[in-house]
Amino acid sequence: MTEKEKQQAGELYNGNDAELFSERNNAKKLCMEYNATVYNDFKKKSRLLDRLLALRGENTWIEPDFFCDYGYNIIIGDNFYANHNCVILDCAEVVFGDNVYIGPNCGFYTAGHPLDYETRNQGLEFAKPIKIGSNVWIGGNVCVMPGVTIGDNVVIGGGSVVTKDIPSGVVAVGNPCKEIKKI
């Protein structure tokens, strides 16, 4: 099994593998070009996103600066907006539903590292997918951690660290992020 196959299967893998390094390098180049593109060159930005992302719906806008690891694990629905400094570490799949709005300085981190230092020091890591439902508003400075699912019709308050699944139809805030009321 290749390191990429291990990665996609959710097993421990070596992130320094040559194939994975090359794919990350390609994504970083596309992100760099996207971020350097003149703000109102909508056609070029759209073409770059088409080359970078696995799939995206209509009306996708990502403010610069935007960073991701691979791009090919990112799936975006219709009417998506991410404000400045969005980071998606997409070592596993990251899926956004329709009508998702993300505040500035947010991160979606599928990558994780073993707690055991001997294993971690070998350069091994793992990845768990993230799923964001439809009609979700994520406030600024939010971190969504590996393996989290956020349901539909959710508001995540600014500054939250989402470490566990959030059900549909709620407002959730805090570190760790917790439901505070139904919508």
CATH of the domain spanning 3-182: 2.160.10.10
Taking the C-alpha atoms of residue 88 and residue 102, their distance in angstroms, rounded to an integer, is: 12
Catalytic residue positions?
113
C-beta separation of 66 from 31 below 8 A: yes
What are the domain boundaries of the chain? 3-182
Q: For each of the chain's 183 residues, which pLDDT tens digit applies?
A: 999 999 999 999 999 999 999 999 999 999 999 999 999 999 999 999 999 999 999 999 999 999 999 999 999 999 999 999 999 999 999 999 999 999 999 999 999 999 999 999 999 999 999 999 999 999 999 999 999 999 999 999 999 999 999 999 999 999 999 999 999
CA distances from 165 to 73, 149, 161, 162 (A): 20, 5, 11, 8
- Provide long-range contacts, Cβ within 8 A and 24+ apart, for 155-158: 155/183, 158/103
